[in-house]
Amino acid sequence: MALRSQAWCAYVALCVPLLFPPDGPRSAAGSRLSSDAQSGLLSQYDLQYYLGVRAYFQEEWEKAAEYLEKSIATRQSLLRTRRRCRDECAAAGSDRLHRLDTETGSMWDLWALDWIQRQAECIRFCLGRAVTPAGQLPVSAAIEYEFGTRNPYNFLQFTYYQLGKASKAASAAQTFFVANPSHLEMRNNIEKYRRMGEVTDDAFTDREREPERHWDIHDSALHAEALSDWERAVENWKDCVNVTLQQLEDCRAQCVVSPHEDFLPTQLEHLHTAQFKAGDLRGAMQTLRSLLLFYPSDPGALGNLRLYSASLGRDAELQNAAPSLEISRYVNRSLLEKKLLYFGVENLDFSFSDPDLWTPEDIVPESLRKTWRAEKEMLRERLNEDEREETDDSGFYAGGPVPQVGVTIAMDDRSLNGTNRVVLDGVLSQAECDAMQQLASAATLAGDGYKGRQSPHTPHEKFEGLTVLRALKFSQTGMVNQSDARLLHEVGERARTLLHSYFRSPSALFFSFSHLVCRSAVAGHQEGRLDLSHPVHVDNCILEPETRQCWREAPAFTHRDLSALLYLNEDFEGGEFFFTNKDAKTVTARVKPKCGRLLGFSSGPVNPHGVTAVTSGRRCALALWFTKEKHHRDMEREEAEGLWAADGQSVVKEKTKDGGAAPASSRSGRRQVSAGRSKEVKREIRRDEL
């Protein structure tokens, strides 16, 4: 929903949960909060949130900001208080624990319940000293969802904008967007805040970053692995394990089950590999023994253990390396907790879904094992399906800023149903599109870029193309305007800057090939047409739809890393771009061309694509391919730039010391790890269009 001001639009969610029943105590809410504040105890953050949202829709902006901020601060204080009380009460009932190791049957049950009750009484007394009785009550699932998705910041960003506090609005917008990266309207809001003079880069901070710190460390560890920086990877994975253990303590304090299956064992696997690669056999042995606490019969881990034993020979100290003490404590406590939880499931009508695959069967009561095995198998199948999902090894991470005024994100990965895909609108003005089309009409040559073949993909269409160098030479003879030739070069640079920033490329991007191309329907040859303007293909590998494989070998352009199309017109029929799965049949997304629309995507096997038949008119676009490999850069384009420079004319071109596009800062995305690029030195001469 857009709430409009005189200057621009910001967006907020439509859905606001019903926090209280219609006949609930609304009139007394403010006075109740006032009395709680006087007592110094933490009040109900859901009530504060309700008052803030109500003030928001009544456009009482000062009051809305006050209550929304209070609800956020109160919730954070409540979470910290719960954690403190749990820590203070950790020893409560500990004198009962030793009895759990010896008692069985009903006596074990009684001692376990006595231990739990003593801890619960201690925690309740601790909370009572800091939180009002109402504040201790659980909030509704709707409120948990609102705060879990950071929706209070959604309301806050527009509230602060209305109050003229742009920096605070930017911070709230950034905080909401981190948890909702597919929210296109908020992303566009952030770009608008960036263009405000009074808003600095420091304003774009994630106010909820600390609870998510383990993901930052996790991403840093994956990035170090991708760079084969094993010593740094070891340090990062150690930090990640330690922070994850702390986060799991927070989950216990809040009575929340971790939603990430086998998260800790997976980190230990990464740490073990990094330690081995870094030559730290002592650390690798200890981590391996820690991992065996989760999976004591894992054949791979046991095989590695035998290998270490053979390699270490008589080094008794290393041979007898014990598991990490912290991991041992975690596993022992987890097993005891699971035993209690399954006791509750069996005897107290308690609901519990075990998120771990490593739980041993003897922990589960006999009466529950059949159901437990079925749930475990379903979980394993789901994890295997996730592993089979196609991942993009391009090293690009969609979601960076768009550094051009007036350019907006029309479609992203989510709306395009894929990875590293984007559609940007407003890249060209209508006047620029008209000038480019005029250039195409005056100078494109039939079959240019296709070894002279006028109809390279279908006999029903004619293809014409023009490169920057050829446009320059035509301008020198007066065949086309020099300004139009320079515009062809400049819009390519503009597209590179936008895509380099949005895809957060960690390295320079070089033009591999750029080509102004128009495809026209051949009159009298369109009736009953069933073919495509361009068959489904992948830009840097040979797609084999039958096996769903993509072979990265010649004659494919294996050096291409990023592909783009900058559309110039829409006055034609057909010619729609589409993405498919690797079967080349299942269409996953469609993009309709129009003036100034830039489509960008990584060139690898995650993005098979094609173009529907152009059945009427002429479809024109600037096709662009980029590479990270300098020796595969477009030499014709550089020749044109050299000729302009020799003639005393500057060209619009952002450079690094290597001559590529200036790199932008990036935050790595999960499940996307950089990989080495194919290094084919031989230059390709075949040209292929999108």
Asked if residue 565 lies in contact with residue 577, where contact means CB atoms within 8 angstroms, the answer is: yes
**Backbone torsion region of residue 488, taken as left when φ is above 0, otherwise alpha when ψ lies between -120 and 50, otherwise beta:** alpha
What is the rounded CA–CA span in Å between residue 147 and residue 139? Answer: 11
Amino acid making up residue 374: A
Measured in residues, the chain has a length of: 690
The conformation of residue 110, written as its DSSP 8-state character, comes to: H
Asked if residue 500 lies in contact with residue 663, where contact means CB atoms within 8 angstroms, the answer is: yes
Could you identify the residue written with the tokens 């003079």? 197
Number of neighbours of residue 613 by Cβ within 10 angstroms: 22
**129 exposure class (CB count in 10 Å sphere: 0-12, 13-18, 19+):** exposed
The values of phi and psi at residue 576, to 5°, are -85, 135
Query: Nearest Cα to 500, choosing from 677, 605, 655?
Result: 655
Report residue 651 as tokens.
Answer: 């060209």
**Backbone torsion region of residue 466, taken as left when φ is above 0, otherwise alpha when ψ lies between -120 and 50, otherwise beta:** beta
3-state SS, residue 259 = coil
For 39-159, strand residue ranges (E) read none
> Which positions ≥6 away from 38 have C-beta within 8 Å?
none
Asked if residue 614 lies in contact with residue 573, where contact means CB atoms within 8 angstroms, the answer is: yes
Out of 82, 619, 637, 687, pick the active-site residue.
619
Crossing angle of helices 482-502 and 430-443, rounded to 10°: 120
What is the rounded CA–CA span in Å between residue 312 and residue 447? Answer: 66
Partnered with residue 424 across adjacent β-strands are 409, 598
For 187-323, strand residue ranges (E) read none
Half-sphere exposure of 310 (CA within 13 A, CB side): 6
The conformation of residue 254, written as its DSSP 8-state character, comes to: T
Query: Nearest Cα to 611, choosing from 514, 532, 537, 670?
Result: 532
3-state SS, residue 518 = strand
Query: How big is the chain by its Cα radius of gyration, in Å?
Result: 31
> Which positions ≥6 away from 350 have C-beta within 8 Å?
341, 344
Could you identify the residue written with the tokens 């768009």? 402
Query: Nearest Cα to 324, choosing from 284, 357, 355?
Result: 284
Could you identify the residue written with the tokens 């296709």? 450
What is the rounded CA–CA span in Å between residue 291 and residue 298? Answer: 9
Asked if residue 355 lies in contact with residue 258, where contact means CB atoms within 8 angstroms, the answer is: yes
619 counts as catalytic? yes
Cα-based distances in Å from 101 to 106, 289, 332, 439, 597: 14, 24, 12, 85, 68
What is the rounded CA–CA span in Å between residue 400 and residue 499? Answer: 9
CA 347 from centre of chain: 42
What is the rounded CA–CA span in Å between residue 321 and residue 331? Answer: 18
Amino acid making up residue 463: F
Buried b (16+ CB within 10 A) or exposed e, 633-656: bbebbeebbeebeeeeeeeeeeee
Cite the active site residues. 619
